[in-house]
A and B are shown apart, each in its own frame.
Chain A
């Protein structure tokens, strides 16, 4: 019985699929046989008045039939009963701005069919609909004739755009500027309907702050005359009956540049009125005897209230299909982040979305983006320049049918972006990753990217993030990177990339280092990569022999890199269980660092790192000053204002001068402060700064790896980067070699955590943990270790 039911369900499903996907069936449910495209609109906001209807914007870009798109709005599930609709403005680039009647309460979606017509069915006052308050803008010219042309509706220019906006809170009926972000000049046309609840002789007074302005009420032009020397005393009388009345404003904004963002001086115009029975309170109270015209109202008019302006409802396009059920390409573009510093060109992160409602399953979306890039997928994150016209193309394909639309938009974003926000940094990297993966490599599109993009790449770079982005850049666009980035910037990205690569694919990291070394001139920069290579052998591949060979190159040398090589040789001896040799090497380096410090009366660690110490460094290419990640100045740039002499810099590991007599005490203090500082940096996510501070500490006090908690701090740093392998190798050596230390319990805990994260069998570290447990028999951690040793996998 159950099997028979399953067969029946299967048959019904198959029938359903056939009927729904069949073109003939789709055509039968098509509400307008002449229509080429059908949009699905989600109603998102009710109108204040039924006659105000809904304001909608249908994208075009080539998908709408011409020469004049004619709309037919149908409520879903109510047959094909048409709702009155009219075109307001249309251009192939900007789409159709339209108004349709209120379908009533409870309706959530409507279908809009669009067919080609010889004449546009534009809105008129006689239609009965009262759209309000729609602000239409034509940027590029400040001319009342242009505003009047917008008022005649119909075909308009490519950059004309409109939105449902009457004004702002303090001036509900006003024009402030162009919300799309385009600069002056511009011409505006505001189509609104005001609610008259106090009929009779009404005094209307517009305030024009900038540009030319013309106001018409119910088609009659307002001729402003000064009737009285009061605020709002210049205007005109209109006899208004109860109900809605059309108010049109034609406004210009001359000049150039952005609209004023000043709270009190900005804006172009606002409207005020005095209704026949206005009270003194509404008009600002009664004038005192000391003022002119005592006993009368303080002002002659007041601003219109929010509820005195009708508002059309709002809706959102969810998707569009062509006749026959094919997908119609429609783009939704939204700016989410802005990266704009100093004099650089602003870069905006845009989320482009193909509107998919009603599309057959399996529809493919292909984006044609700037720089010759193409991307497959329904959503794309991309970087576009701000304050410029931008364009993309979308092709939607399904079952051999495809449509294409071109979408234009002006680069502008009012969202606030902060480099402190990890999600904002990730948004930039994600958009750039899409770009590097989609843009052609030969010729390299990255070669034409401006400094703003490269600088923001550096600003958003962080340890352990952006692997796919850096992998593409280093594997395919190395030449462009070298050309566009300063040596310090390139070195910073290289360090971040190698850090991630050596964890994922250590052998590939070695090859990458060889590739980078081949392109370097012999010198400090190149030799530092040899130490990096030895670290990979040591920590990632456990090839101690290769690591030793690599570090042996520095055995006869002097200078900063040689000191680092000795520290790494000490690490190697420590990992191999030769604690004496490790201590000897660490002690040598530490003693020399102390001598330098004492002779100089203090040592600045940057001098050491750049090879400017006592021994002098190998001649290499000059290094640009290091940059902190919090500094918006791109890496390698010049510091605008040098810090005062002797002022400490947070998180840079700088060593302050101290008196020779108190050397060992200050050294101990430095040890503690380094530990605390780095732990805090790691906790707060300043990993680059933590790494630099840790290097400074390690260079000055390598013995702290054995006697202090330097090794534990580094292990925590590695764990934060999810470099479990390196952390585990270090901790295992510490637990094995250090007999007694107050840091041993923590080291054992961290080692267990690393093993758990790596999902390693317990037996791999059992011997080490047992050894620690014997040493810490009476310590509270012994219980935890016992649980680990006796617990189940």
Chain B
């Protein structure tokens, strides 16, 4: 028994024993229990309500770096006319 208890503590289940799921009258626990509905949004303590904000002073912004040039996109197809066997023309 002591060995079985030790094994249970270590492995989290009783080795060789049934977990009762096969027994008659077993009711499985709900796999994904539904959470109770959230309470309606009310101002329970209005002191926390931020109805206004006090905009601070305008900060000094950093300089924007110059954008690199965008090269034009040229689409072309180069056909490799080499023979399949690797011979060049």
Contact = CB atoms under 8 A, between A and B. Distances in A.
Contact of B60 (A260, A270, A338): A338
Given A630-B69, A666-B78, A419 B55 contact: no
A143 interface: no
Contacts, number: 173
B58 interface: yes
A339 B65 CA distance: 10
A259 B54 contact: no
A230 B46 contact: yes
Contacts of A386: 60
Interface string B52-89: 11111111111111111111101010101010000010
Contacts of A651: 68-69, 71
Given A167-B54, A291-B43, A292-B44, A650 B63 contact: no
A269 to B, nearest CB: 7
Contact of B56 (A176, A272, A681): A176
A348 to B, nearest CB: 9
A673 B74 contact: yes
A269 B59 CA distance: 18
B46 A261 contact: no
A595 B62 CA distance: 48
B14 to A, nearest CB: 49
B9 interface: no
Interface stretch (A151-159, A192-200, A408-416, A763-771): A408-416
A57 B80 CA distance: 78
Interface in A657-685: 659, 661-662, 665-666, 669, 672-673, 676-677, 680-681, 684
Contacts of B62: 338, 340-341
Nearest to A291: B42
Interface residues of A, number: 83
Interface stretch (A282-290, A308-316, A546-554): A282-290
Interface in A622-637: 628-632
A67 B58 CA distance: 36
Contact of A231 (B42, B47, B80): B47
A168 B46 contact: no
A605 to B, nearest CB: 14
Contacts of B65: 341, 419, 630-632
B63 A338 contact: yes
B33 interface: no
Contacts of A629: 66
A669 B78 CA distance: 9
B80 A661 contact: yes
A720 B3 CA distance: 92
Contacts of B56: 176-177, 259-262, 266-267
Interface of B: 40, 42-47, 49-72, 74, 76, 78, 80, 82, 88
7 residue pairs, one from A and one from B, having the closest CB atoms: A267-B54, A266-B56, A630-B68, A419-B66, A632-B65, A418-B64, A291-B42
